Homo-oligomer: A and B are copies of this chain.
Amino acid sequence: MTTLEEVRRRAENDARTYGYYLHPDPKFLKDLLEGLKRNEDRYGYPSCPCRLASGKFEFDRDILCPCDYRDPDVEEFGFCYCALYVRRDVYEGKTPIVPIPERRPLEKQARAYGEAPETTKQQATTPTVTEQPSNIEIKMWYCKQCGYVCFREDPPYVCPICKAKKEMFAEITIITRAYG
């Protein structure tokens, strides 16, 4: 089982890589880290402590911490939705922490919470691999600016390597032979 200390170290490590800070109030920070640990114990993955997870990995993927929305939120507001990750000016109290809009698209929320039609829900289970008679189609995304390749349902909001916008991502489709 993951310890609270491991959860804290992972968050610190991640903040360090991106030049972020963790929430300045030790008590509030501890609550968030305990929320992360609780989710990891319950679901097997550290979903966002401020959002309701569905418990199904495919539907929660975008809200695994650090969530898909953290980087654009820190860029625009100075902190993520939970305020676990904050910018230096926020950490130093120069920019106040206030509630910010939920960037997670409504259709992802609906899908996760079981309010979506059946077809939409099924699409999520295998986001990028489509089976054909004896072929499998694998769709990846690449950043047209720097070439970063990733394998996920939608492209990221911001390229983690060069910070190009989502619109700079395009698909690579590979048709490969099925096994057996």
Q: Report A's interface with B, CB cutoff 8 A.
A: 9-10, 13-20, 45, 57, 61, 64, 66, 68, 71, 74-76, 87, 135, 138, 140-142, 144-152, 156, 158, 160-164, 168, 172-177, 179
- The dominant DSSP class at the A interface is mixed
Copies in the complex: 3
A144 contacts B14, C-beta separation under 8 Å: no
A149 touches which one: B10, B87, B140, B173 (CB < 8 A)? B140
CA gap between A112 and B115 in the complex, in Å = 51
B-side contacts of A179, CB under 8 Å: 173, 175
What would 15 A/B residue contacts be, using CB atoms closer than 8 Å? A9-B75, A13-B71, A13-B158, A13-B163, A16-B19, A16-B87, A17-B18, A140-B149, A146-B152, A147-B150, A147-B152, A148-B150, A149-B151, A174-B174, A175-B177
